[in-house]
Structure 1
């Protein structure tokens, strides 16, 4: 780089960017798979045995090696709200934390972080299943970030049996949590996914409501840890 692009760097930030780009390029192997090879490649990864020598395990090891390391100072907001998290080991980094709109007498904290997609730096939100007393904060998150889809990575029935903290209404009924009303509209069940349409409204006063529809996709299979996460997509 110095030999062929000696005048490429114009300042400290550019030098840092080039260094990080080259560092990642050298550490991460080339994983491009064309369309014709994808199905076969994906099938092979799915059939891998659960040991540390498989290709899937090696890719996961590489991915973990590229993961940034954060210090205690990067988790200051979460540390101040430990009682609002399921685990002290799964905490949001301040830089990516989703802060809720200020409401008098309520916390603006919820365990949720912004995630990037291949097109946008803030396309997704990863958030925890609502801990006891934080269901209203989840509804505030949905409203504040204008979300329209929630994907649950595990069966809600399994999680709720552990935490006894159901936030979904029964079929064709509603529940009220704080200033929000959540109404069940319909459910379509398939072999692997249950799709439920809900309407979330926020009470402004006894006569006015904020309302919009949310399509919630519930994964039937229990495939994640007890610290259940949502992945919430932004509109």
Structure 2
């Protein structure tokens, strides 16, 4: 049991990840202590090594000695999974345990006649963070802080301790508990004393926080909370919050301006993006100061060089759910189609016209009629539909090397100027979003490709608005600040100004107002 000095503070139970032979003991402890939640900070397997036995069912119910665990619901996001479990204790089963269980601790299916009808039930929420390896890079701090906030909000008024485990029950477990306690101190007290928190934990369980990186992570998480604050909005309050954030305080700064100013402070500036290969191929970049990051850039398969100015962007449930690319140049059109074919893209969203004023904003990469070839790829237009302020096409792409043929939907939003992105046809954008979401249900594992002239304006706004709508649908809350902050890790400079930042909120609200009763919401 790990907790601070005051008896009113939230108690934690730090433990190792269950082994096959200790799963029943684990559930017995959860039942005995009447735990309200379980926080799991490891995957079942990491680097081909078993880190923890699966102690819950993948679906339905499973028996562990005298306990029956039922999976009621499972919700997945980029960095974590939340499961709603029920734990049933079959009271007579405990007395008959030696007669009816096999060596693994599970009930022998041939001895179900001993199953007792006398039951008690415990409701438990299981939180699993899946983006933190024991031997790997530091997890994304904002995701970990968000994970902690969800747990804190949902367990605030619940009785019983929170069970926390990784594989060993020391390193990641200690870092998480230390972070959670320190953030709580930051919100409720004027003094934060992380060394004291760690000392208290280590007096109660040895080896809590094992490395300098884990100790630094606690500090960085507290700093993240202090700088960024609480930017989450309950979905039903979105419209009222937009009005509130649009008003100025005594310093004549609106809430949106204040949030965006913080966003600028905590984000890596575009000029600091590290992508050596991009700088080696300046002719492939429309703007030399807007480049992808090495970690998240899209690689062209079996190519040398493998560079294209495109980057993976996280959707709400997939860290590679979107691809944002610069609109192709004349000399990069073949690379553009190579990327589409490599990544099995089925939806393209074009957010800039071919010409903007006197400048070419996008090279024509599909035929006006008939077919057109770019390297080994032949492109044709199968069908075309006109809508108010946007158009839709069915394109066919054939790889002449292997004669493979693929279909994809192409959307083009009209009249969205790069000079004033916030002056747009809102209806065209949200109707395009709705059609894209409808088509994407047929190929959920394929990234959605969106492009504009500079990547960080129209494409970033459209992408963030889609992710925000998905978050709202999944969890009934939105956090545009964190959505954009996450996006900027992959694409520095994404969402260029306060107006675009506010626009993401208004697009999400407009989408909900129009489509809240549709299948896409």
Normalised by the length of structure 2, the TM-score is 0.39
Identify the residue that residue 405 of structure 2 maps to in structure 1: 211
1:195 aligns with 2:392: yes
Q: Considering fraction of residues, name the structure with more helix.
A: 2
Closer/same/farther in 2, CA of residues 63 and 74 from structure 1, 3 Å limit: same
Q: Distance in 2 between matches of 1:95 and 1:18?
A: 24
Higher relative contact order (CA 8 A, sep 6+): 1
Identify the residue that residue 132 of structure 1 maps to in structure 2: 330
Residue in structure 1 matching 2:263, options 58, 63, 70: 63
Q: Does structure 2 conserve the Cα–Cα contact (< 8 Å) formed by 1:154 and 1:228?
A: no
The 5 Å alignment of 1:211-230 reads 211-224=405-418, 227-229=453-455
Q: Distance in 1 between matches of 2:376 and 2:351?
A: 27
Q: Distance in 2 between matches of 1:108 and 1:194?
A: 32
1:85 aligns with 2:85: no
Q: Deviations over 1:82-105 (max 9, x none)?
A: 1210111111221211111124xx
Q: Does structure 1 conserve the Cα–Cα contact (< 8 Å) formed by 2:355 and 2:362?
A: no
Identify the residue that residue 183 of structure 1 maps to in structure 2: 380
Q: Deviation of residue 140 (structure 1)?
A: 0.8
Q: Does structure 2 conserve the Cα–Cα contact (< 8 Å) formed by 1:203 and 1:209?
A: yes
Closer/same/farther in 2, CA of residues 101 and 61 from structure 1, 3 Å limit: same
Closer/same/farther in 2, CA of residues 71 and 170 from structure 1, 3 Å limit: closer
Q: Deviations over 1:141-179 (max 9, x none)?
A: 1111221112222234548962572112225x3211111
Identify the residue that residue 276 of structure 2 maps to in structure 1: 76
Closer/same/farther in 2, CA of residues 62 and 132 from structure 1, 3 Å limit: same
Q: Distance in 2 between matches of 1:216 and 1:157?
A: 18
Q: Deviation of residue 72 (structure 1)?
A: 6.3
Closer/same/farther in 2, CA of residues 186 and 120 from structure 1, 3 Å limit: same
Q: Deviation of residue 78 (structure 1)?
A: 0.9
> Mind listing any 5+ residue stretches in structure 2 that lack a counterpart?
1-181, 183-193, 203-207, 420-451, 467-521
Closer/same/farther in 2, CA of residues 127 and 73 from structure 1, 3 Å limit: closer
Larger Rg: 2
Q: Distance in 1 between matches of 2:299 and 2:260?
A: 30
Normalised by the length of structure 1, the TM-score is 0.80
Q: Distance in 2 between matches of 1:20 and 1:147?
A: 37
Note the aligned Cα RMSD (angstroms).
Answer: 3.2
Q: Deviation of residue 31 (structure 1)?
A: 1.6
Q: Does structure 2 conserve the Cα–Cα contact (< 8 Å) formed by 1:156 and 1:218?
A: no
Q: Deviations over 1:98-134 (max 9, x none)?
A: 111124xx63211011112232222211111111211
Q: Deviations over 1:3-26 (max 9, x none)?
A: 334444221332243333222211
3-state DSSP class of the match of 1:60?
helix
Matched residue count: 224
Residue in structure 1 matching 2:305, options 104, 107, 116: 107
Closer/same/farther in 2, CA of residues 66 and 9 from structure 1, 3 Å limit: same
Identify the residue that residue 149 of structure 1 maps to in structure 2: 347
Q: Distance in 1 between matches of 2:283 and 2:218?
A: 41
